[in-house]
């Protein structure tokens, strides 16, 4: 009986140790975003200067596809401002909800994500630490964008 309890305790400890950090994602840098999107034939543009009046946005980059849609990547001064920007954009996306829509959201560790397909659009937000990925495209590009999101790890 005592051996079973010790064995059970060790198994629980190992499971707890193995699961620590499972809820975290690794934030990418603007350089990573640019490199990965350009490798997939997107044209990237630094648009940080357009956000100069927003003191909390340190970097802003847009990746444009040859199909005409774009994916936006932001680096903010801290995770609190990234969370605030995430929540603001999520509320905006939610205003697009129609009778026929599909949405999902997740929040664990250092990240939050939200997706909505509605009114002919696919919308996706993902915050990891102090970064934010923003997508609003026609739903015909949903699969292409999902592949990019997976490649970015967001």
Q: Residue 82 CB: number of other CB atoms within 10 A?
A: 25
- CATH code at 23-152: 3.40.1000
- pLDDT at residue 99, as a whole number: 87
* DSSP helix/strand/coil, 89: helix
- For the entire predicted model, the pTM comes to 0.84
Q: Delimit the domains of the chain by residue range.
A: 23-152
- pLDDT at residue 23, as a whole number: 74
- pLDDT at residue 22, as a whole number: 56
pLDDT along the chain (154 residues), means of 10: 44 39 84 97 98 96 97 98 98 93 96 97 98 98 97 96
Nearest to 132 by CA among 69, 63, 81, 91: 81
């Amino acid at each position: 009986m005592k051996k079973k309890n010790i064995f059970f305790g060790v198994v629980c400890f190992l499971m707890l140790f193995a699961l620590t950090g499972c809820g975290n994602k690794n934030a990418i840098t603007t350089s990573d975003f640019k490199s990965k999107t350009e490798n997939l034939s997107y044209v990237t543009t630094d648009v940080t200067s357009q956000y100069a009046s927003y003191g909390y946005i340190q970097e802003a980059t847009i990746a444009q596809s040859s199909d005409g849609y774009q994916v936006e990547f932001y680096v903010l001064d801290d995770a609190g401002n990234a969370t605030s920007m995430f929540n603001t954009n999520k509320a905006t996306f939610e205003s697009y909800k129609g009778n026929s829509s599909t949405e999902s959201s997740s929040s664990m560790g250092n990240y939050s994500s939200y997706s909505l397909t509605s009114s002919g659009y696919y919308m996706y937000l993902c915050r990891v630490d102090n970064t934010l990925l923003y997508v609003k495209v026609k739903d015909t590009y949903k699969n292409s964008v999902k592949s990019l999101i997976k490649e970015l790890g967001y």
